[in-house]
Each structure stands twice: as C-alpha cells, then as structure tokens.
Structure 1
Amino acid sequence: MPAERIVCLSAESAEILALLGQASRVAGLTAFAPRLAALEGKPRISGFSTAKLDRILALDPDLVIGYSDVQADLAAALIRAGCNVLVTTQRTLSGIFETIGLLGGIVDARPGASSLNARLEQEISRVRQQAARLPVRPRVWFEEWMDPLISGVGWVDELIEIAGGEPLFPELRGRWRAQDRVVDPAEAARRNPQLILASWCGRRVRVRQIASRPGWDFTEAVRSGRIVEIRSHHILQPGPSAILEGLPRLHAAIADAARHISEGGVG
C-alpha cells in the first residue's frame, strides 16, 4: 500500500511528489522545499543538515525521505525510532530520472513519473539544440562554495555542457563528496575561466569577493565582468528544478558569454 504520511527532509523529494500530483501524501517537509502551491500550508520541520527528531515523529510518518550522507545520522536516529526511511543519493542527471521513477513507484504514480521524466528530457533536448548554435563554448567555473573553493557536483557539470559550456574541472565530476571537489584558487585562475557561475548553497554570492581573489583579475571572466549568480534552489537540488529552472539560467548566462567572446569583447 502506498505511503500516506510522508515527511520529506530533502527539497527535491517534496518537489517530485508535488509534480506527480501526490502532495496530499506529504505530511511535513524541509524548509528548503520549493514554494509550490500544492505544498502550501505543509509544516516545514527541518533544515537540510539539521532537524529535531521529536518534530518529525510528531507527524506520525509512515515514510521519511532524505538525501545523501549528510543526513545519515538523522536517518539512523529515525530508524532507531521505528520509522521507515528512504535516503536517495542521486548526483547525476540519470540519477535524478531514476529517483523520480523510484518515488513514482512508491506512491503508485508510475505513469506520472514517466510523463515528468519525458518533460525533463524535452527541456534538455530544447536547450541542447539552442546550445549547438552558439559560436563558441566558454570555459565555465561553477562555484558551489567559496571557502574552500568547491567545484560543482555531477549534475551541474552535465547541465553546463548541455547548456553550451565547458566545465573548468571536468575531472572532479565523479567525486560525490564536496570535500573531494575542493580546488586550489590559483589553479582555477590558471585555467582562465571565461564565465564564472556561483551558487553558494543558500548564501547570496558576493561578486566583489570573487573578483578580488589574488590572480583572478587576469582571468577573462573577471576582466569582462562575467560573474553570474545562480540561486541554489534553482540548481543545487537534484530534482526537476535543476532542469526546469537551473538549466535555462545556465544557458542564458553561457549564451551571453559566448556572444561577447565571439565578438572579441572583454568587458
């Protein structure tokens, strides 16, 4: 029997259930869940890495959905308290599609999951076709965190390529833990990004802080003023929003940079 009282500790699980027309099954959710009409009024009972066990248990969930090893301790505590717990670990586009299929099966909404995945595939195809017409493919530094510098997670690099860019550290794509994607600021500058995209995990990006790093004033991106913030809820949650909201924003920034580069412009 499908779960009826689901607590979503990950933003993307709440988003997926809402887009599948299954928001009525959501008993509670993370504060970082998208502000969708279908989720309005649902109690927001956790952060991402923080939550109070008693607030979750008070909702009497028959399933709790979390994300990644960051929530491992919380998941263990919930299991000891007798909860059914599902923790997903998708870090690639294929993983996002698989997670949608998995959640669709759990709530008996497989046709809806297939339709949602088809919609996401269509958006990827649309942007890929637009990107194919760009005059150049800019070198893109995606900054997930500022101190230490952390390069973008797997699905972000994939989306940058689809949007028409070339990730600055493609060799780090398969490293799932953030601490394994830490880069030397001097090496990032040496690779000379032509566009900097920054998304600081919920914090507002400080453009001047990026531009004033030692040696970064010589990069094409800084010299031309091509530093763009992509809000975290659009790109760093591994669910539909990364494709429906994040991908068009990536492409807009990359296409603008490509046009200026092809015209020989710096600044």
Structure 2
Amino acid sequence: MTKHDPFPHRIVCLTEEPTEVLYALGEEHRIVGISGFTVRPPRARKEKPKVSAFTSAKLDEILALQPDLVIGFSDIQADIARELIRAGIEVWISNHRSVEGILAYIRRLGAMVGAHEKAEQYAQRAEAHLAQVRATASACSRRPKVYFEEWDEPLITGIRWVAELVNIAGGEDLFPELAREPLAKHRILADGGEVARRAPDIILGSWCGKRFRPERVAAREGWDEVPAVRNGDLYEIKSPIILQPGPAALFDGLDAIHAVIAGWVARHG
C-alpha cells in the first residue's frame, strides 16, 4: 500500500474469478500473480505470472511477489491460505455458491480495491442481463427438465449457482435438493439410475477440465429411454464459463445454457 492509495496494490489471485473481476473494473494493475487455470480475460495469461493451480500453489514464488493481499476461493484452498497466513500474508477466501453470492462478490471485491462505483455498475450490468434472460425464458411455452453433470466418475450434479442459472434460462434443474450442497462429495449420485427415472429432457455436461463425451453418457446402462438421450439433446457447457463463481457464469455461461434450452423449446414446444 502507498500513502496515496490505501488499497491493496500487489494482489495474487489463486482462482480466475478475482482476476476477471479486477480486469473488468480496470484494476488489473493491482494483480501481480494469477492461477495457471486462468483463461479469462485471455490477456491475463500473457501479462501476469502464473503461481498457483487450484489445490496447490508455488508458495515461494507468491512470497517473492510480496503481495499485500492474496485472494482465493473455498475450503479447498484452506491449506494454501493457512501457509500464507503463517508467512504473514493477508488472505481473503471467499466461499459464495449462488448467483446472489456472485453479485455480492463483485461488489465486495470492488470495494476492497477502492472501485466501489465501478463494481456497482458492473454488478448492475450482470443483474440486467439476468433479468433479460429470465424475461425471455418466461415467455417460452415449456420448461424442459435439465440434468447438469459436473463430473462423470462418480456422477456429480451441478452446484447451486449452476442450478439457479438453469432455472433462469428457462429450465428446471433435475436435482434441486442436491444443488444446495456446497461440497461436491455431497452431490455424488450413488445410483445413476435416478437420472433415468427422473427423465431429463436435456443433459448438460461440464466435466471440470476434460471434454464432455455425450456418446459415453448415452451408452450408460438404462439411459437409452431417457428423453434427452433418445432425442440427442446432450450438450457441453465449457467449464471456464460455468464452473467458476464469477462473471463468466452470469454472462457467457447463462447465455450458453439459454441457447440450448431455447433451441429445445423451438423444436419441442
């Protein structure tokens, strides 16, 4: 921090969403290190050193950057945070899991770097986009049942913000009772046959870092009569735009889901 700028100005981002938000707010000059998984915005990978994965980090390299704030996400990064705190570094670990949580995160992060007004404008842009998609979807004649698969071995259903975006986009999440479980291990389907019994109209896959294989899904035992399989309505939503609780999910992720649902309604409505 400087005398003229009391806000953090050497920030390390352990996940992509703080990087995306800070670039969107024009505060990227404060970032001195990013996650190696960062793809948004593309220029960040060219401009900032990559010092972490998701469950691991190059602690020596982070300390060498002399950060005055490190930003991470969730209990999964608790060990990294502990080591940095022991080294005397200030750490903020967010743990939001909903659409409202993402909007609050944008506002909170903006305030932390002295960009409250820009963050408020950005959050309002996101809220307007959510409202526009919701209004468009509400005019559709049918709401398809949507199964979102976050992982295939074992089967893991979608987290809360994903389920909420499915509903905003005009669908009905197939496992609403699991969506509120914050930990992936609590969203594991012990019986894959339950998907077939609930008969989704659409299957969306985002296998967190590997390519979704609809043909493998369609070949699962007992799934041949699932409406989504029978009609070929299996689609990939790229993980960078949906599996991180940041702006990408509210814009590109939501748009991708809505495009699939709108296409289904046009064919089946």
Same fold (TM over 0.5): yes
**Whole-angstrom distance in 1 between the partners of 2:42 and 2:187:** 36
- 1:6 equivalenced with 2:19 (yes/no): no
Q: 1:18 aligns with which of 18, 23, 26?
A: 23
Give per-residue Cα distances to partners, 1:28-49, cap 9 Å, x unaligned.
0001223426624111111111
**Whole-angstrom distance in 2 between the partners of 1:192 and 1:74:** 41
Cα gap change, 1:140/1:37 in structure 2, threshold over 3 Å: closer, same or farther? closer
Q: 2:115 aligns with which of 95, 105, 109?
A: 109
More divergent stretch after superposition (233-242 vs 33-42) = 33-42
**Whole-angstrom distance in 2 between the partners of 1:106 and 1:154:** 26
- The Cα RMSD (Å) is 1.0
Q: For residue 217 of structure 1, give the secondary structure of its aligned residue in structure 2.
A: coil
Q: Is the 8 A contact 1:135 1:259 kept in 2?
A: no
Match in the other structure for 1:190:
197
Q: TM-score, normalised by structure 1?
A: 0.96
- 1:27 equivalenced with 2:32 (yes/no): yes
Match in the other structure for 1:149:
155
Runs of at least 4 residues off by over 3 Å? none
- After TM superposition, list the pairs within 5 Å mapping 1:131-170 onto structure 2: 131-170=137-176
Q: Is the 8 A contact 2:17 2:246 kept in 1?
A: yes
**Whole-angstrom distance in 1 between the partners of 2:48 and 2:7:** 19
**Whole-angstrom distance in 1 between the partners of 2:69 and 2:139:** 46
Q: CA deviation at 1:259?
A: 2.1
Task: Percent identity, please.
Answer: 47
**Whole-angstrom distance in 2 between the partners of 1:37 and 1:149:** 31
- After TM superposition, list the pairs within 5 Å mapping 1:43-62 onto structure 2: 43-62=49-68
**Whole-angstrom distance in 2 between the partners of 1:37 and 1:171:** 36
Q: CA deviation at 1:132?
A: 1.2
Q: For residue 208 of structure 1, give the secondary structure of its aligned residue in structure 2.
A: helix
- After TM superposition, list the pairs within 5 Å mapping 1:1-267 onto structure 2: 1-36=6-41, 39=44, 40-183=46-189, 184-262=191-269
Corresponding pairs, count: 262
Give per-residue Cα distances to partners, 1:162-207, cap 9 Å, x unaligned.
0000000011121100011111211011100100000011111111
Cα gap change, 1:37/1:211 in structure 2, threshold over 3 Å: closer, same or farther? closer
**What residue ranges of structure 1 are gaps of 5+ in the alignment?**
263-267
More divergent stretch after superposition (166-175 vs 37-46) = 37-46
Q: Is the 8 A contact 2:174 2:200 kept in 1?
A: yes
Q: For residue 246 of structure 1, give the secondary structure of its aligned residue in structure 2.
A: helix
Give the letter aligned to residue 8 of structure 1: C
Q: Is the 8 A contact 1:23 1:38 kept in 2?
A: no
**Whole-angstrom distance in 2 between the partners of 1:72 and 1:35:** 24
Q: Is the 8 A contact 2:20 2:40 kept in 1?
A: no
More divergent stretch after superposition (42-51 vs 107-116) = 42-51
Give the letter aligned to residue 94 of structure 1: E
Q: CA deviation at 1:129?
A: 1.3
